[in-house]
Structure 1
Amino acid sequence: MARTAEWPVRLVLTEEDGTTRARVDLDTGTRSLTGHGRARCNPEDQDVPVIGDELAAGRAMKDLAGQLIRLADHDLAGVGAAPPGHERRTAYGWTSEPA
């Protein structure tokens, strides 16, 4: 079964006071997702705006990718094909549970 899908993506970058913010919007036709990323220039470093753009955009896309993976995991679980390795982990250190 051959299938082709196209999902529009929009990436917006804004920079103010040495901080670059990125927002990436994805429309799958059935869902809309938004990823966010941020990069801050160290005051001691040379200000190279393209580096901030690259870092913030990459972080926003990484955030979006994580959301897509979590949605796929959820959808797989919904059809009885949950991915392995999602057992509950033991909490270490301070917890809110009484001893």
Structure 2
Amino acid sequence: MAHTTEWQVHLRLVEDETGTTKAEVVLDTGHASLSGHGVAQRNPADENVPEIGDELAAGRAMSDLGRQLVTLARQDLRQMSPTEPEPDLHPATGWLS
């Protein structure tokens, strides 16, 4: 059975005068809302390039959100079949033979 859905994502980035960039990503699935957070701190000796702080903070916030989604999926799987072994939801790395 085919299934299509659309989730809304909102990303907010704020950099303060000290060179700290904070990111919050909010995911709205229509049934639930999750938020991830990330922070990037510029070394005072580094050139001030706001895009780098944005990229790092946003990436860390999305990674946080991704971990939450995997955890939520595992919880849902456990509720559906509590006697089954927990599946490996982490993709394999390296070359597959």
TM range (shorter): 0.7 to 0.9
Q: How many pairs were matched up?
A: 85
Shift of 1:83: 1.9
TM value normalised by structure 2: 0.83
Q: Percent identity, aligned pairs only?
A: 58
Mean Cα deviation higher: 53-62 or 73-82: 73-82
Higher-Rg structure is: 1
Segments of structure 1 that go 5 or more residues without pairing to the other structure are 86-99
What is residue 2 of structure 2 aligned with on the other side? 2
Residue in 2 aligned with 1:83? 86
RMSD value over aligned CA atoms?
Answer: 1.2
Offset of residue 47 of structure 1: 1.1
Distance (whole Å) between structure 2 residues aligned to residue 82 and residue 67 of structure 1? 20
Runs of 4+ in 1 over 3 A off after TM superposition: none
1:55 aligns with 2:31: no
Residue matched to 2:92 = none
Task: Identify the residue that residue 12 of structure 1 maps to in structure 2.
Answer: 12
SS in 1 for 2:21: strand
Question: Take 1:37 and 1:46, find their aligned partners in 2: how far apart are those partners?
Answer: 21
Partner of 2:3, secondary structure, is coil
Q: What residue number does 1:21 align with? A: 22
Encode CA deviations 1:36-81: one digit per residue, 9 max, x unaligned.
Answer: 0000000111111000000000000000000000000000000114
C-alpha contact (below 8 Å) 1:7/1:29 kept by paired residues: yes
Inter-CA distance 36–82: structure 2 relative to 1 (3 Å threshold): farther
